Amino acid sequence: MKFFVDTADVAAIRELHELGMVDGVTTNPSLILKSGRDIIEVTKEICSFVDGPVSAEVVALQADAMIAEGRRLAEIAPNIAVKLPLTWDGLKACKVLTGEGKMVNVTLCFSPNQALLAAKAGATFISPFIGRLDDINLDGMELIRDIRQIYDNYDFKTQILAASIRTVNHVTESAVAGADVMTAPPEVIRKLANHPLTDAGLAQFMKDWEKTGQKIL
């Protein structure tokens, strides 16, 4: 499974990129706001060192305006994935932009039928929002499993990008369910390395090593 990092924080992206943990980046208007930077400027900087897809989201609501914004965003770098909402206008824009050879990430997906429409429109990525479904007592992982089954049934090439990931368990479950990609905040990716038994084992090793009175350097 590919790892995308869900942030516009360049320093955090660089840290994870240096460890080989970044296959791509996703941003959205809320993350751009949090960064306090111009969308074109920060997206261009991210693309300067991340080779994989970098999602940049349109803010228009009508198809023609979405297409125009998508074309402008795609000019930033060859690896831009234009992020479009899963609305009827978003699907229209997706069809046009993918027809022009641009990568498109269709976001805010909450049902298998929406995912089916996105694949039919030629989306490069579909972004089901796991956490937001969990918030209203629905099973976000069931959506990933259903989309996987549908896409496999008909050999759709659209990649499933598990989004709105809140916990390390979401990452594990997305991988088991067959998501092609997951996108998560930097802090969630860092937490994947944590386990209480690792901490306990290391503490015991250090305690025993101290008793030997030895040094390596």
| Positions marked active-site | 83
Contact 179, 160 (CB under 8 A): yes
**Nearest one of 116, 78, 75, 69 to 96, comparing CA atoms:** 69
Identity (one letter) of the amino acid at 148?
R
End-to-end distance of the chain based on CA atoms, in angstroms? Answer: 39
Q: How far is CA 199 from CA 168, 194, 203, 215, in A?
A: 17, 8, 6, 21
Helix (H) or strand (E) holding 147, with range, is helix 140-154
Contact 158, 119 (CB under 8 A): yes
Burial label for 11, CB within 10 Å (0-12, 13-18, 19+), is: exposed
Taking the C-alpha atoms of residue 4 and residue 182, their distance in angstroms, rounded to an integer, is: 6
Taking the C-alpha atoms of residue 108 and residue 203, their distance in angstroms, rounded to an integer, is: 43
- What one-character DSSP code corresponds to residue 182? E
Contact 78, 86 (CB under 8 A): no
